Chains A and B, each alone.
Chain A
Amino acid sequence: AAGVIQSPRHLIKEKRETATLKCYPIPRHDTVYWYQQGPGQDPQFLISFYEKMQSDKGSIPDRFSAQQFSDYHSELNMSSLELGDSALYFCASSPITSGGNYEQYFGPGTRLTVT
């Protein structure tokens, strides 16, 4: 079965640079979520999109922005990177319109290292 695809899987950036993470949800999933997991931490919700509109927002820094495109893929844009942004970034998708089946399916994550 198709899974959530994230790219790149690994990314190394320097402080103050920008980064773009991409997420391709499972086919026919119309909702995308982004989570950040710092070293030794639990995943923390950043932002979500349903049908290309932002549906919820968590503890996402103002330096970060995200959007969902017409093909339902999503991109997380991160600017002015800081050392503390080094983390695993997970994307998840779920099929909101399938009659109550709301479990989220996670991708393998992008490991961002800021030096």
Chain B
Amino acid sequence: DAKTTQPPSMDCAEGRAANLPCNHSTISGNEYVYWYRQIHSQGPQYIIHGLKNNETNEMASLIITEDRKSSTLILPHATLRDTAVYYCIVRVDEGAQKLVFGQGTRLTINP
């Protein structure tokens, strides 16, 4: 699986958009970008994933650059409950593929 690079920590004001970057310059053509988050000591939670098109769901939006070497997770209106560690993971979408968690970004939402 491709290696990802994320900033170790970020802060965002409550109600503002939180934009979390991820670099994955060695991503292969068949690898997807997945985002998970882990709120303190809870099980990681799936957020969103994509291959090359931008994606949006009820939780977030995922913007993938045209060359697919980086992406941004957007939480449009961050709340205090969005404080968590956010993991960007790239993996092929086939079979029982494990998740390889890297360092992640510790996002703190401030009131």
Contact = CB atoms under 8 A, between A and B. Distances in A.
Q: Is B a genuine binding partner of A?
A: yes
B101 A42 contact: yes
Nearest to A45: B98
Given A42-B103, A103-B34, A48 B98 contact: yes
A106 B99 CA distance: 11
A108 B40 CA distance: 11
Contacts of A64: none
A107 B43 contact: yes
A4 B101 contact: no
Interface stretch (A14-22, A70-78, A92-100): A92-100
Contacts of A56: 96-98
Chain A at the B interface: SS class: strand
A101 B86 CA distance: 21
Chain B at the A interface: SS class: loop
B30 interface: no
A33 B98 contact: yes
Count class of interface residues, chain A: 20 to 34
Contacts of B104: 42
B99 A45 contact: yes
Interface residues of B, number: 22
A106 B96 contact: no
A109 B98 contact: no
B101 A96 contact: no
A90 B23 CA distance: 27
Contact of A103 (B46, B98, B103): B46
A92 B100 contact: no
A97 to B, nearest CB: 10
A9 to B, nearest CB: 11
B51 to A, nearest CB: 11
Given A42-B103, A44-B101, A55 B43 contact: no
Interface of B: 34, 38, 41-46, 49, 87, 93-104
Given A49-B96, A102-B94, A104-B46, 4 more contacts: A42-B104, A43-B44, A90-B44, A103-B46
